[in-house]
Amino acid sequence: MKTLIPKEIKNDFPIFKRKIHGKSLVYLDSASSSQKPKQVIEALSNYYEKMHANIHRGIYTLSEEATLAYEDAHRKVARLINAKFKEIIFTKNTTESINLLAYSLGLELKKGDEILLTEMEHHANLVPWQQIAKRVGAVVKFIKVNKEGELIVDEQLFTKKTKIVAVTHISNVLGTINPIAEIIGKGHKVGAKVVIDAAQSIPHMPFDVKALDADFVAFSSHKMLGPTGIGVLYGKQELLEQMTPFLYGGDMIKEVTLEDSTFNDLPWKFEAGTPNIAGGIAFGTAVEYLTNIGMHNIEQHDKELLKYAHEQLSKVKGITIYGPKDLKKKSSIIAFNFEDIHPHDVSSILDTEGIAIRGGHHCAMPLMKILNLQSSCRLSLYLYNTTEDIDALVKALEKVRKVFK
Ligand code: C6P
User: pLDDT tens-digit profile of 217-236?
Assistant: 999 999 999 999 999 999 99
H or E, element range at 168? strand 162-168
Query: Is ligand 1 within 6 A of the CB of residue 228?
Result: no
pLDDT at 405: 81
Atom of ligand 1 nearest to the CA of 121: 14
Amino acid found at 53: A
Query: Is ligand 1 within 6 A of the CB of residue 362?
Result: yes
**DSSP-derived pairing of the beta strands 114-118 and 162-168:** parallel
pLDDT at 103: 97
pLDDT above 90 (res 2): no
Query: Is ligand 1 within 6 A of the CB of residue 95?
Result: yes
pLDDT above 80 (res 142): yes
80-83 own/partner pairs: CB under 8 Å, 24+ apart? 80/202, 80/207, 80/287, 80/290, 80/291, 80/295, 81/202, 81/207, 81/208, 81/209, 81/217, 81/234, 82/208, 82/209, 82/210, 82/211, 83/209, 83/210, 83/234
pLDDT above 90 (res 4): no
pLDDT above 90 (res 102): yes
Centre of ligand 1 from the C-alpha of residue 361, in Å: 12
- Residue 322, CA distances (Å) to 117, 122, 173, 316 in order: 21, 17, 9, 15
User: What mean pLDDT do residues 44-58 have?
Assistant: 96
Q: pLDDT-based confidence at 43, cuts 50/70/90? A: very high
User: pLDDT tens-digit profile of 236-291?
Assistant: 999 999 999 999 999 999 999 999 999 999 999 999 999 999 999 999 999 999 99
User: What mean pLDDT do residues 338-350 have?
Assistant: 96
Q: pLDDT-based confidence at 132, cuts 50/70/90? A: very high
Centre of ligand 1 from the C-alpha of residue 363, in Å: 8
Query: Is ligand 1 within 6 A of the CB of residue 31?
Result: yes
pLDDT above 90 (res 303): yes
Q: What does pLDDT average to over the chain?
A: 97
pLDDT at 136: 97
pLDDT at 346: 97
Residue 267: cis peptide before it, omega within 30 degrees of 0: yes
Q: Which domains does the chain have, with CATH numbers?
A: 7-30+295-403 (3.90.1150.10), 41-292 (3.40.640.10)
Q: Whose CA is nearest to atom 16 of ligand 1?
A: 172
CA-based R_g, the chain, Å: 22
Q: pLDDT-based confidence at 155, cuts 50/70/90? A: very high
**DSSP-derived pairing of the beta strands 26-27 and 88-91:** unpaired
Q: Is the pTM of this model over 0.95?
A: yes
Query: Is ligand 1 within 6 A of the CB of residue 92?
Result: no
The count of other CB atoms within 10 Å of the CB of residue 324 is 18
Tell me the catalytic residues.
Answer: 363
pLDDT at 1: 76
Residue 86 near residue 267, CB atoms below 8 Å: yes
Q: DSSP E strands: which ranges in 239-347?
A: 253-256, 261-263, 319-322, 333-338
d(CA 110, CA 104): 13
pLDDT at 3: 81
H or E, element range at 90? strand 88-91
pLDDT above 80 (res 335): yes
